Amino acid sequence: MILSRARLRGKAAPVPAPAVPQGTELPRHVAIIMDGNGRWAARRKLPRLAGHKAGADAVRRVARAARDMGLECLTLYAFSSENWKRPEQEIADLTALLKHFIANDLDEFHANNVRLRVIGDYHAFEPSAVEMVERALAKTAANDGSTMVIALNYGSQNELARATQALARRVASGELRPEEITTDAIAAELDTADLPPLDLLIRTSGEQRLSNFLLWQVAYAELYFTEKLWPDFDAEALAEACKVFAGRQRRYGGL
């Protein structure tokens, strides 16, 4: 796989990002735990909302960079199932930023043949946000240039519990035998079922934990932690992470 993969697909020829040398092995699927908005704001003596706004700017920047670089799939952890523990006002601010993103930026991604996907149960958000997400999903459903996945009210343990329940129901109904619950059968029930395998997981802000993100999918992903706070993350930082990825030797247990 080379940098010009997206161009080979014959859709909306991307402009290669300058910082990744031609011929570099690109990850197919990159996921990012976008962390550090609050600390970015605190360092500037600004309210946390200012950090989230700067974080939303980073989402735009990085999503564009991923698209231009020719990444097949970018998954962004926007709101975890544990983030409901935050103050009501912060949750309202984050929901408003999501709506703002869909209202203002979706058209650009749609015009560039990007398909939007959501993982997690987004129905827990306020009805106007749910409606906007649904319209965005429907509008971009047929796009096949690249995929942008937003994790909303996502928790990996809950995702695995839901998948297990679905399999149990199929066994109970006689449609599936217990021994047919293979790793492939489990993967097929996850929210990520139709996405390419996860190659690279990035977490910003210096924290080195997964915070209930893609626990199954991360099995053989490469992990990349950076001290950079999410609002400071940009095309250059994404290219650097991809460069480090290209230098990794993936053995999958073999030699």
Considering the complex, state which of residue 37 and residue 143 has its C-beta at the smaller distance from ligand IPE. Answer: 37
Residue from 94, 102, 114, 235 in contact with ligand IPE (CB under 6 A): 94
Should residue 68 be labelled a site residue for Mg ion when binding is judged by CB under 5 A? Answer: no
**Closest distance between ligand IPE and the C-beta of residue 120, in Å?**
10
Residue from 35, 68, 159, 199 in contact with Mg ion (CB under 5 A): 35
Report the b/e string of 122-140 with b at 16+ CB within 10 A: beebeeebeebbeebbebb
Beta strand segments in 139-216, E = 146-154, 200-203
173 Cβ neighbours under 8 A, 6+ residues apart: none
How distant is the alpha carbon of residue 35 from its chain centre?
13
* Residue 80 interacts with which of ligand IPE, Mg ion, none, CB < 5 to 8 Å by class: ligand IPE
Should residue 149 be labelled a site residue for ligand IPE when binding is judged by CB under 6 A? Answer: no
Residues in binding contact with ligand IPE, number by CB under 6 A: 19
- Find the residue with minimal CB distance to Mg ion: 35
Is residue 73 a contact partner of residue 6, using CB atoms and an 8 Å limit? no
Q: What is the DSSP letter of 185?
A: H
Radius of gyration of the chain (CA): 18
Should residue 27 be labelled a site residue for ligand IPE when binding is judged by CB under 6 A? Answer: no
83 labelled catalytic: yes
Considering the complex, state which of residue 35 and residue 68 has its C-beta at the smaller distance from Mg ion. Answer: 35
Catalytic residue ranges: 35, 83
